[in-house]
Structure 1
Amino acid sequence: MASTFAVIYTYTDDTALREATRPSHRDYLRGLADEGALLVAGAWAPAEAPGGLLIFRADDKAAVQAIVDKDPYTTAGVVANSEIREWAPPLGPVAAQLNGE
């Protein structure tokens, strides 16, 4: 049964590399969204430290790690650090869907 995972990216300060890699990163994520693996993704607001949040549905943390490892942002060196956490929110209008109910 699939679970929900939050991935937190921290980007390097190399803005030029990030901008150059963004189109392939977004194409990659679009494909994952089309498959139903990626639920939502986006960068932090400009006032925040560079990075982003991605929410996935996957069988396990290893499957999410494999997705992160193939992300063009990871392979190009845009991602300085990534953190994967299983997430099971109990409240809110989309909590049931995120928990596979």
Structure 2
Amino acid sequence: MFCYLFILLLNFTLNIEVFPQMVTIELVNNCSEPIWPAIKNDGPIPNNGGFGPLQPGQVQSISVPSNWKSARIWPRTGCGENMLCVTGSCGNVFFCLYSKY
């Protein structure tokens, strides 16, 4: 069975000088099982780098600064209460500070 995390980028800006421009990223779980999305980049990370679980069909929107140069977003599957996951694990932590993937 093919399982994937669909990422949709929705770009918008705020015309108020006090707020930095933001980009909204939508995470969509197109899998038949729950996933725990993880994020890693070199700057501030929304939700400290961890989300979840996202149930099948569920959508999670996050806003990130428009000056992000790059980021990695990946789904973790089969995670237990100790956050050891079958795929995409970043140790036994909810908030990913690193990943070997």
**TM value normalised by structure 1:** 0.35
- Structure 1 or 2: larger helix share? 1
Answer 1 or 2: higher relative contact order, Cα 8 Å, separation at least 6: 1
